[in-house]
Amino acid sequence: MEATRPVFCTIVPPHVLDRLARSEDPALAGPARRTLEADAAQRTHRRLTTVLGAPPARTAPGAAEGGARRTVFDAGNRRELPGRVVRREGDQPHQDATVNRAHNGLGATFDLLLQVFGRDSVDGNGLPLHATVHFDRDYGNAFWDGEQMVFGDGDGEIFLDFTLPVDVIGHELAHGLTQYTANYTYFGQPGALNESVSDVIGSLVKQYVNDQTAGEADWLIGAGLLAERVTGVALRSMKAPGTAYDDDVLGKDPQPATMDDYVTTGRDNGGVHINSGIPNHAFYLLATALGGRAWERAGQIWYDTLTAGTLTVTPTFADFARATAAAARTRFGEGEELESLLKAWERVGVPAH
Question: Same structural domain for residues 213 and 117?
Answer: no
Write the CB contacts of 125 (distance below 8 Å, at least 6 apart in sequence).
Answer: none
Q: Check residue 237 and give its pLDDT.
A: 98
Domain final position from 130, 148, 180: 180
Helix (H) or strand (E) holding 131: strand 129-133
80 annotated active-site: no
Q: How far apart, in whole angstroms, are the C-alpha atoms of residue 166 and residue 143?
A: 14
Kindly give, in sequence order, each residue whose CB lies less than 8 Å from that of residue 353, ignoring residues fewer than 6 positions away.
322, 325, 342
Report pLDDT digits (tens) over 213-224.
Answer: 999 999 999 999
Residue 49 pLDDT:
64
The more confidently predicted of residues 6 and 298 is: 298
Residue 3 located in a structural domain: no
- CATH for 272: 1.10.390.10
Share of the chain above pLDDT 70, in %: 93
pLDDT higher at 49 or 316: 316
The confidence score (pLDDT) of residue 2 equals 45
Rounded Cα distance between 206 and 18, Å, is 29
Q: Are 209 and 166 in contact (CB under 8 A)?
A: yes
User: Pick from 155, 180, 205: which residue ends a domain?
Assistant: 180
User: Tell me, what amino acid is at 153?
Assistant: D
The per-residue pLDDT of the chain, averaged, comes to 93
HSE-CB for 295 with a 13 A CA cutoff = 22
**Do residues 142 and 228 share a domain?**
no
Query: 18 and 35: one domain?
Result: yes
Neighbour tally for 348: CB within 10 Å: 24
Sheet-wide strand order for 70-74: 9-10, 142-144, 149-151, 129-133, 70-74, 84-88
For 149, phi and psi rounded to 5 degrees? -100, 150
pLDDT of 53 above 50? no
Provide the domain count of the chain. Answer: 2
Does 92 share its domain with 212?
A: no
**Does a structural domain hold residue 328?**
yes
Q: Are residues 280 and 153 in the same domain?
A: no
Say how far apart CA 19 and CA 284 lie, in whole Å. 29
How many helices and strands (H and E) does the chain possess? 11, 10
pLDDT at 59 over 80: no
- Say how far apart CA 179 and CA 191 lie, in whole Å: 12
Helix (H) or strand (E) holding 87: strand 84-88
Nearest residue to 113 via CA among 205, 199, 197: 205
Write down the catalytic residue from 103, 134, 273, 281: 273
Domain extent for 69:
9-180
Which of 149, 180, 211 is the endpoint of a domain? 180
93 pLDDT tier (thresholds 50, 70, 90): very high
What's the confidence (pLDDT) of residue 66? 63
pLDDT on residue 313: 96
Domain match, 324 and 305 both: yes
Check 89, 147, 172, 337 and give the catalytic one: 172
172 is catalytic: yes
Whether residue 48 is predicted with pLDDT greater than 80 in this model: the reply is: no
